[in-house]
A = this chain, B = another copy of it.
Amino acid sequence: MALANIRIVMVETSHPGNIGAAARAMKNMGLSDLCLVRPRDFPSAEATARASGADDVLSAAQVCDSLEQAIADCQLVVGASARDRWVTWPELTARACAETLWPQLETSRIAIVFGREHSGLTNSELDLCQYLLRIPCNSEFSSLNVGAAVQVVAYEFFQAATAEARAAASLSDPASGEEMESFFRHLRQTLFDIGFFHATKSGPSLMRRLRRLFHRARLEKKEVHMLRGILSQMQIRLERLNAE
């Protein structure tokens, strides 16, 4: 299960209650790999109380001396951050992060790093991250509790897992990139054959708009086959008429 490849890393958490809340949130969403970098107070009765049944996640948690150590065996590192930064890291929303990185979880371990309650992550900690994750929220009150932030991120990964499973079921056989390109070449040729490019004088921008439209529809193999059947029939018809 790909969710097992997500590691939640909490850096210098002050309140043990937040560690417990994060553990519960993780288990609720099928995550289990928790790593704590220099927690102020851990293990703690308060963490266990707030974990409320996710004690297995707490007791399996690694405790590390440094963020470097916590992410040593991860292929990808994402830093959660609410603050605007002077230096701009590539930024993903929580949803985009889950949807974009989901496929990589098949083969990679991904660390998602959460900073201190009051000051988040330092810039030198963010230097260890490939992406910055931001939870979109009220710009006038933008600091989420760290346990709540773990909840939202874990929730988004669980949703991506579910959506992935659902999409795999409903879109049983998506067209490959090569099949889409063959389709676009066929479409372009047919538009030449019927004289549409000549008529509109807008070949490149027209093709760009058609590509955008059909990519957005995320075609199945069968649909590409059907559309190309229509294009072929049109070409056959024109050839026959031309030959008459």
Interface residues of A (CB under 8 A from B): 21, 24-25, 27-30, 50, 52-54, 95, 135-138, 141-145, 147-148, 151-152, 155, 158-159, 162, 191, 194-196, 199-200, 206, 209-210, 213-214, 216-219, 222-223, 226, 229-230, 233-234, 237-238, 241-242, 244
Contact = CB atoms under 8 A, between A and B. Distances in A.
This protein's copies in its complex: 2
Contacts of A136: 158-159, 162
B213 A217 contact: yes
Nearest to A142: B28
Q: Chain A interface secondary structure, helix, strand, loop or mixed? A: helix
A141 B238 contact: no
A196 B145 contact: no
A64 B234 CA distance: 68
Contacts of A241: 238, 241-242, 244
Contact of A226 (B50, B209, B219): B209
A152 B222 CA distance: 37
A216 B142 CA distance: 34
Nearest to A161: B136
B199 A28 contact: no
Contacts of A196: 229-230, 233-234
